[in-house]
Structure 1
Amino acid sequence: MIAIGLEGSANKLGIGIIEHNTETGVVKILANIRHTHVTPPGTGFLPRDTAVHHREFIIPVIKEALETSNVKIKDIDVICYTKGPGMGAPLVSVAIVARTLALLWNKPIVGVNHCIGHIEMGREITGANNPVVLYVSGGNTQVIAYSEHRYRIFGETLDIAVGNCLDRFARILNLPNDPSPGYNIEQYAKKGEKFIELPYAVKGMDVSFSGILSNIETIANEQLSNSQYTPEDLCYSLQETVFAMLVEITERAMAHIGSKEVLIVGGVGCNLRLQEMMAQMVEQRDGKVFATDERFCIDNGIMIAHAGLLAYRTGFVTPLEKSTCTQRFRTDEVHVAWRDT
């Protein structure tokens, strides 16, 4: 069975084509093409401009994915698209294309939860069995574990996501957005020497980042002028603080469910320092950390195709009249019929 996945919940436009061998269980990635809307340093990406980018590039990217995979339209079994969560205008732009293709090609359509796509792709690539999942990206921060056909949220951000916190601080420092603000903060942090104590906002199993961002923004405006701290020091201090918070709540979830596995997914999951800090904690619990590289951590179409095909194989199809978008589509709203209890 072959699925094509369309992802466009933020500034990454991704088209993926995947094949599931239902007899052997082998999964083949046939194409994973991505095009990113990059804005000038010191700026973020706006929903309207991002939607324009997606509309401009989605047809060429689909054609490239079909050429790369050598898959014919007649061979595709289902069209999968990101239903949410994400930014409204970009989501709708991609959903309209998915709906149009479903009509033109006479194919069924499946709306996919973006978060579930990250989790299932991470499980497939790494081989993690039943991990505690740390999902960290520009729009989401959640600690998740599976139980009774649902991905249960144990803890999450109370305000902004950790990726959003890092991205906004990158704008304060006027760091480039290519390849991503978070990546450039990571490179700066490697050169940091002075640790600046910042607020540590863990509240039970939840975390809060907006106060930390406000605090370090004030420090940046005050201290950079007199050279007491370098931009590298600030990036280092911010990373160490927010990642320590994430490691703490992940460890608490591990203890609660008795798991020895941690799977890190989402764009921030590419950060090698986060992976290193998590590995140090998990090693003390005789466990193992699973993570993927930028091909699968960063938003991509292949994760949507994979999760959508898993759902489709259980008989799930999104009726055309309900192939809409939901900006606040919760991870725990999805019935995970393809996993055992």
Structure 2
Amino acid sequence: MIYLDANATTAASEEVRRAVLAAMQDGFGNPSSVHIRGTNARQTITNARDEVCLLIRGALPEGVTLTSGGTEANNIVLRGIPEAIIVTTSVEHPSVLRPAEAAAEHRVVPVLVDGRADPQAIAEALPASGDVIVSVQWANSETGVIQPVEDIVTTVRSRRPDVFVHIDAAQAIGRIPVHMDGIDALTFSGHKLHAPQGTGALVLGDPEETRLKAQILGGGQEGGRRSGTQNVPGAVGLGVAFRERAKAFDEATGALRAMRDAFEAAVLSAVPGMRVNGGSSPRVPNTSNILFPGIDAMALVALLDQRDIACSVGAACSSGRPEPSHVLLAMGLSEDDAYSSVRFSFSVMNTMDEALSAADIIAETVGKMR
């Protein structure tokens, strides 16, 4: 199979698999235990925090809280200041939108047609007083569009220096440089970057941050921010995956961009009338969301699956009935166009031959559907 759904999840790398297996075989101690196995497990967790920081400029290991993934980390932030007003954008991941909707008050800022938010519009949505959390996804999971995080942080801080700024970096980490400049909390999942599923972290700009109230109470692990016995094998895998990407960041991102760009060029030249959603904006190097006018995206994805190409469309509701992507609708696409859009997302496990082969098969399949 040509797997082009890396924004949903990625396969663990060979080094990650070996490290996780070794941790399960030989490093099974509880990090809270005082004997040698517990001591070794604690050191393993410490090493994982260090390795996480390799991909986040300005991050400190003591500010890293290991979680079960980005959704839990987002909820720790968005539910951590109980009376806070949450300001976010219309293109966020459901793990941000749903907690925001459950808050006492939330404000949703629309995006421009290019998928990017206006920093000034976010600043203008801030309340004049009271606790407030601004939550923005650094890179969109469906289009790969990169938000102007630096400008958002600067503009928001100029109006309300006390705002708690949260950045969801699930699709940005390891694909573009990320940092903690002016950011109070940064969250991500490990499985987008070849770490095991069920891993992720919350990274605090200030390790002594006291505004967030813990959501999981118990033995006080993870600095009291996330109680429960730590997932040692998962932490090992997360750290190894981050170390691998940090060592080869430029090579990896360059390869992703080359494959994505060649793929888009081949598809667009072979199938006239196609358009890349968010293509005029800065994007992470691995993501392509293509509009195939008049084509049923669900049917196209099913046909491509039969040809051993894995890709995806927008979200589906709990009944399983497909819904148009809220991200694409927020960017001004019609429902018909949103229903005709497919996301392709690459990882470093793909090859250029796969990218070009997939483009040929997509062009052939779309031609038969017309």
TM-score scaled by length of structure 1? 0.32
Work out which structure has the larger RCO, using CA pairs closer than 8 Å and 6 or more positions apart in sequence: 1
Q: Which of structures 1 and 2 has the bigger CA Rg?
A: 2
TM-score scaled by length of structure 2? 0.30
